[in-house]
Amino acid sequence: MSLSETITLPDGTKYEQPLGLFINNEFVQGTGGLIESYSPHSTKLITSVHAASAEDVDKAVQVAREAYNKTWKHIEPSDKGKLMWKLADLLEKNGEILGKIDAIDAGKPFENNALNDIAQSASLCRYYAGYTDKVPGKYTQINADKFVYEVQEPYGVVGQIVPWNYPLAMAQWKILGAIAAGNTVVIKSAENTPLSLLYFGNLIIEAGFPPGVVNIISGWGKEAGSAIASHMDIDKVAFTGSTAVGKLIQQMASASNLKAVTLECGGKSPCVVFEDADLESAVRHASLGIFYNSGQNCTANSRIILHESVHDKFLQLFKDYVDSNWIVGDPFDPKVTVGPLVSKVQRDRVQSYIDHGLNVEKLERFMGNEPVKAEGYYIPPTVFINVPTTSKLWKEEIFGPVAVVCKFSTYDEALQLANDTTYGLGSAVFSTNIKRAHRFAAGLQAGTVWINSSNDEDVRASFGGYKQSGEGSGRELGEKGLLIYTQTKAVHVNLDLEGSKL
């Protein structure tokens, strides 16, 4: 099979799509068969890419280890930063084609979603480019004759596994922090969305990175993903995806060489609206928090918790706003803000929750009654109201444009409802009483809290989860997103040479 193919996109754009595994700055044949990639809008085959076997993963790890030992660890930190700055320029230069690839492969609305992902990736690349020669350390004076300094050193070879909801952006969260810290990388894309990350391999070459620093593979989770998690020569693994798979990754990492693990897993984020909230602002942000990226967000505020005095007014404003601003349809239509779900499997999974709510639990559907008149794997923005906390839809991550709503009357009740989940990734609270908002934020069991906004993360602020949303110390973005790819070495320096004689 060829290592590339000319693809014609729905808007007529033609580009050359790499299909092979990106190892040692070359696209090479895989030995794990082929992975077919379909458009979730047209449901038609886009192309097929090479899949990595465990043997291919091993080759990529060997290459990454050699690159780490022979080249990357010897390059000055400031020179690493210059390479990353070039990469950021290339992300911007190629932003349109990368966005269009994610639009066709993942169903992301091009104008209102995919381009945002690429812009954030370029911004993050520049942020970490400036960090390469500023990795912090620590100095401690023990006494007049002794001091200790602590340095943060790279692990070496890092294995990374990324999800399909942000095919390129989530990969950048992982790759950029790891290489800025001085590691080399073997990263596996999601089976559903391999195309943009493979195209990114071209930018690694063009930016001038030494061969083997970044290696990109497509592959099945059971083979290639497992090979990464259990590989004896990978020093750390980072994973974003479901909590169930995250637990398996952690088990395999522990059973192999006890490699370090960073996990970012599922979520069931609350959005709490107090009676004094600016309702129009709360409606805008709450709708963004659940319907952006078709609800396929780990931090989607899928549990909307409303004070009883504003419940009815909020819902009417919410419906009016969603009807006018969250437009379902073709990802290449500039008016569209809600694209299809990534696959038939995902669409059917989300639909099964809706059907369960309607037919088993007899929940009241407030929005989403009209089916989408478009081919592809679509679910309309859907809201259930008066949902009890015992509901399956309240407890489980749906990962689609589906929200549940309940009422509260007191502050304590609102906090209890917000924390009534096994997850703890994101959360939002709306109130013009800033003292109450900060107090409420302190009580929320979540790694990220938005006050009077939702799902507007920033590359300079850390991101990660509490409880079953992730491994406790694991954070991405910000300084911590670099430091998770380092380990601490304490160096003890004794100046009293005479006193140390036996």
Report, as residue numbers or ranges, the catalytic residues. Answer: 264
Return the DSSP state at 363: P
Total residue count of the chain as it appears in this document:
502
- Residue 206 and residue 90 in contact, taking contact as beta carbons nearer than 8 Å: yes
Measured in degrees and rounded to the nearest 5, phi and psi for residue 25 equal: 65, 25
Rounded to 5 degrees, what angle do the CA atoms 453, 457, 460 make? Answer: 130
CA-based nearest residue to 269, from 302, 293, 306, 295: 302
Q: What is the DSSP string of 174-191?
A: HHHHHHHTT-EEEEE--T
Q: Cα(first)–Cα(last) distance of the chain, in Å?
A: 70
CA-based nearest residue to 243, from 392, 399, 387, 443: 399
What residues are paired with 467 via a beta bridge?
423
Cβ burial, residue 409 (10 Å; 0-12/13-18/19+) = exposed
- Residue 455 and residue 292 in contact, taking contact as beta carbons nearer than 8 Å: yes
Coil, helix or strand at residue 145:
coil
Cβ contacts of residue 449 below 8 Å, gap of 6+? 426, 427, 428, 429, 441
Coil, helix or strand at residue 328:
strand
- Residue 207 and residue 219 in contact, taking contact as beta carbons nearer than 8 Å: no
- Residue 308 and residue 409 in contact, taking contact as beta carbons nearer than 8 Å: yes
